[in-house]
């Protein structure tokens, strides 16, 4: 009788033990079904992964268009933007002779899992700006603009499925001033602010990545 009772108790202990192992496995994600459920649950979380180079380029096109549109919104001929670059003030507006959605993209693979692509974008750009002044009111009253015609180069890198602008440079092929309603080559004695946005050096780029601060 005792042996029969002990047998029943042993069988019950084995069943409870197997159930416990299954439960513990579920708690710690050990079962195959639990892994599938976790993958399904997390599939919609976080930034969308870039599936291909074509998709990455399509996203970059949207990013550059957003930048050019923002540049146009800063001001126009009738209402130029008042810019401050310490210690100076000047007025400025830009135009895109080929259109704000026309630009050339050179995208390359990058040997980095977190930054799989880098890109250089070139866009034709016309920049109108005044002389630079230390007094805000003086700059606000100046209506004599110089015209730069050139190309802007923008540098981007893809991080976590999103493009970040990490540098830029505007190079003017020619600079003109308006004399009696006609654009003529600029006189050499005209004082202006440098229109170029310098590309950050190695240390600046590294520090921006550490701090998470980009140019846009």
Does residue 185 surpass a pLDDT of 50?
yes
How many other C-beta atoms are found inside a 10 Å radius of the C-beta of residue 36?
Answer: 10
The more confident residue out of 39 and 12 is: 12
Q: Looking at mean pLDDT, say which of 42-46, 87-91, 157-161, 179-183 comes out highest.
A: 87-91
Mean pLDDT of the chain: 78
> Smallest Cα–Cα separation from 48: which of 133, 158, 150?
158
Q: What are phi and psi of 8, to 5 degrees?
A: -65, -45
How far does Cα 29 stand from its chain's mean position?
37
pTM for this one?
0.66
**Distances in Å between the alpha carbon of 96 and those of 61, 70, 71, 140?**
16, 12, 10, 24
Angle at 189 between CA 186 and CA 193, to 5 degrees: 80
Quick: pLDDT tens for 69-89. 999 999 999 999 999 999 999
- With cut-offs at 50, 70 and 90, classify the pLDDT of residue 104: very high
């Amino acid at each position: 009788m005792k042996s029969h009772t002990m047998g029943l108790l042993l069988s019950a202990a084995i069943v409870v033990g197997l159930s416990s192992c299954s439960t513990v496995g579920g708690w710690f994600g050990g079962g195959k079904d639990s892994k599938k459920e976790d993958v399904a649950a997390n599939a919609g979380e976080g930034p969308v992964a870039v599936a291909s180079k074509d998709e990455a380029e399509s996203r970059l096109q949207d990013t550059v268009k957003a930048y050019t549109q923002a540049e146009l919104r800063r001001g126009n001929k009738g209402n130029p933007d008042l810019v401050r670059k310490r210690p100076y003030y000047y007025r400025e507006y830009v135009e895109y002779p080929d259109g704000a959605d026309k630009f050339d993209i050179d995208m390359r693979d990058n040997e980095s899992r977190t930054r799989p692509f880098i890109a250089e974008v070139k866009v034709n750009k016309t920049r109108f700006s005044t002389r630079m002044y230390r007094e805000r009111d003086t700059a606000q009253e100046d209506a004599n603009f110089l015209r730069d015609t050139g190309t802007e180069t923008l540098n981007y890198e893809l991080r976590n499925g999103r493009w970040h602008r990490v540098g830029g440079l505007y190079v003017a092929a020619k600079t003109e001033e308006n004399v009696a309603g006609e654009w003529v080559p600029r006189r050499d004695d005209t004082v202006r602010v440098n229109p170029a946005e310098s590309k950050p050096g190695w240390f600046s780029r590294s520090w921006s990545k550490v701090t998470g601060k980009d140019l846009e």
